[in-house]
Amino acid sequence: MTENTAMKEEIFEFAFQNIQEGVIVLDDTLKVFYINSFAAKLFSNELSVENFVGENLYNFTKNQVLINAIDTVAKEGKDASLVVELSKEMLTTRFDIKKFQQNGDDMILLLLKDVTKEVEASKMRQEFFANMAHKLKTPITSIRGFAELLDAGIAKDETQRRDFSKKIVKETKNLTDIINDVLMISKLDCSDYSCDKTEFSLKPLIYNVENNVLPLAKEKNIKLVINCEDIKVVANQNYLLLAIDNLIFNAIKYNKENGNIKVDVSSMGNYVKIVVEDSGIGISPEAQLRIFERFYRSPEAKLYYPGGAGLGLSIVKHIANGYNGSVSFETEQNKGSKFTMLLSIKKID
Ligand SMILES: Nc1ncnc2c1ncn2[C@@H]1O[C@H](COP(=O)(O)OP(=O)(O)O)[C@@H](O)[C@H]1O
Ligand SMILES: [Mg+2]
């Protein structure tokens, strides 16, 4: 072997042991001739390359789909691609399997890729669309029902006709709210918080939110007390408005008649701390584990306030994360809840 070939081999070996894809070569008896460390890890966290070389690959997996695929490639020589769950850690691995010849001997090349994240993302997308379709169905079915009743002239009198029309308008509003939340989530998913921002004063924005929510608060005779420090911040105004609006709207929606809400906005180092405390229904232990999930609504919440997509808090969390912050809560059933959002948005002079 010339010095040059030896050097090339060393370089290839170094590259193969460091790439984020698995490479395995099997000889014609399906014994491991070559394996890089990434492939070894995909099979087992406890074993290293040395444990595999010279051993039959089937000693390391019981996955029948993979075994059959390798057998078929070995017998028929046609390439195969498959996705399997390989290890105990439930990593999803994509295998590309090819037969080739080396010095007249049949060999098999396996290329492995960890596709766990891609598969999870695709599952989440599917679930997202299924959930969205489900959420949209309820108001649409209701709108169609009342529209058909009106169309068939079933309403007894003008009062009932009005009642049906009002229900249609209400459900249409609900539908629009759901669609707006879904659009906002997809906008946030691809937004860049670090460049999309301006400098502004927080106080006027908070009072803007107050104006938005006052009609609903009045309907339930809820007292809203706002305490806001005069803070200059650098952020996207719309996102901030949306996050605070969602927290205060929840505090009203899930509050009792004649309840109270306290909003406190203060600064803490580079952070702005926004606390929204209500005297509402509180959150059950089961719901506490899920309230930040997209589309989740607790059974109590559905009874208390039928409309809503269950996207508000996931929007709040997205925005808090986007500003290197957090959102947390304390709650007691039938007593109330207190949500605290921290955002790293204070303007530094
Ligand atoms: N202030 C609150 N008091 C009681 N429950 C709340 C409060 N805020 C949120 N929740 C619970 O968290 C769930 C998710 O909230 P959110 O994502 O804003 O969706 P939505 O308000 O559309 O139901 C609500 O359905 C409710 O169960
Ligand atoms: Mg909400």
User: Ligand 1: which residue has its CA nearest to atom 8?
Assistant: 250
Predicted confidence at residue 270, as pLDDT, reads 92
As a whole number of angstroms, the distance between CA 187 and CA 175 comes to 18
Predicted confidence at residue 249, as pLDDT, reads 95
pLDDT averaged per 10 residues, the chain (length 349) = 83 90 94 95 90 94 93 94 83 94 94 93 91 92 95 90 94 92 90 87 94 94 96 95 96 96 95 97 96 94 88 96 96 97 91
For 36, half-sphere exposure in the C-beta direction (CA atoms, 13 angstrom radius) is: 18
Predicted confidence at residue 93, as pLDDT, reads 93
Predicted confidence at residue 88, as pLDDT, reads 67
3-class SS at 214?
Answer: helix
Predicted confidence at residue 315, as pLDDT, reads 95
Which H or E element spans position 180? helix 158-189
Predicted confidence at residue 67, as pLDDT, reads 95
User: Ligand 1: which residue has its CA nearest to atom 24?
Assistant: 297
Which residue among 213, 283, 284 is best mutated to probe the pocket of ligand 1, counting the most ligand atoms within 8 A of its Cβ?
Answer: 283
The set of protein residues with a Cβ atom below 6 angstroms from ligand 1 is 246, 250-251, 254, 278, 280-283, 287, 291, 296-298, 301, 308-314, 337
Predicted confidence at residue 193, as pLDDT, reads 85
CA 282 vs CA 5, 78, 237: distances in Å: 71, 61, 29
User: Taking Cα atoms as reference points, which of 329, 323, 211, 208 lies closest to residue 272?
Assistant: 323
Query: Contact at 8 Å (CB) between 343 and 289?
Result: no
Can you list the domains of the chain with their CATH numbers? 3-114 (3.30.450.20), 116-190 (1.10.287.130), 194-349 (3.30.565.10)
3-class SS at 341?
Answer: strand
Whether pTM > 0.85 for this model: the answer is: no
Write the single-letter amino acid at 248.
I
CA 227 vs CA 79, 210, 216, 254, 266: distances in Å: 68, 12, 20, 21, 8
Query: Contact at 8 Å (CB) between 255 and 280?
Result: yes
CB atoms within 10 A of CB 180: 13
Query: Contact at 8 Å (CB) between 39 and 55?
Result: no
